[in-house]
Structure 1
Amino acid sequence: MSRIRSTGTAPERVVRELLSKAGIRYRMNVRNLPGKPDFANKRRRFAIFVHGCFWHSHEDCSLASDPKSNRSYWLPKLERTKARDLAHMQRLEHLGYRVLVIWECSSRRPQRAAEQIADFFKTLR
């Protein structure tokens, strides 16, 4: 568990590269916003989270395996994570931010993640 990073992960690096190629300006890991979004721009009011499929319990995803051992620990932990994610997104939306979640499985196909980012920013303008 100590080797699990919270910032600078491979999916984050993929998204960072896609945002930079698209010419989108952002700050990383903005601490004074709810949930500390991975990428955010206060002036344009957007926040992007890059979620790991297992840690954030991505529905219908092969990377989000159901824990087989110590289920009494893992299942409540993963449920709390989902509830916390929802609360952070609702708080950001209440503050006037548009929120995008890019899943780890999407970042493994950069073209798919690029399409998600492009669609998000088309509606942002």
Structure 2
Amino acid sequence: MEMGVVSENAWWMIPENFDAPLVLFIDQSQEELIFGHGDLYLRRIEEHSSTFIQLEAWFTASGQTRVSVVGPLRARQWLMDMIWSLGSQENYHQARGQQMLLRVQNQPLTTVDLDAALRVQTHSWGLSPVIRSKGPI
């Protein structure tokens, strides 16, 4: 495929990928941990997760950032799991979140990555895969 040629099957050409965007709030320190100082890693995370991520600083006492994510449902779920894991109080989840962060910063996510995260979510959160894969996050 030629560089610059857009595939008809590109994720942004599928309307369902824009239904029910993932919206969450994170504090400034977590934003810097995930996206880097000055959002250095934002574009790379978007490319590697096949998503579009919008960061908006909110004027709250805690200085939160609103994170909006559109893209394929499984990629949104994967990113939500990564962010949740990084913010967890449990060392196991924090370490897992850090591994996920390094993965998405350094290489594109694969179907294997998405499947593995879904299995862990299902086990950790006590949800069936059928429930997790239907509807908005």
Give the TM-score normalised by structure 1: 0.27
From the two aligned structures, give the one with the greater helix fraction. 2
Give the TM-score normalised by structure 2: 0.25
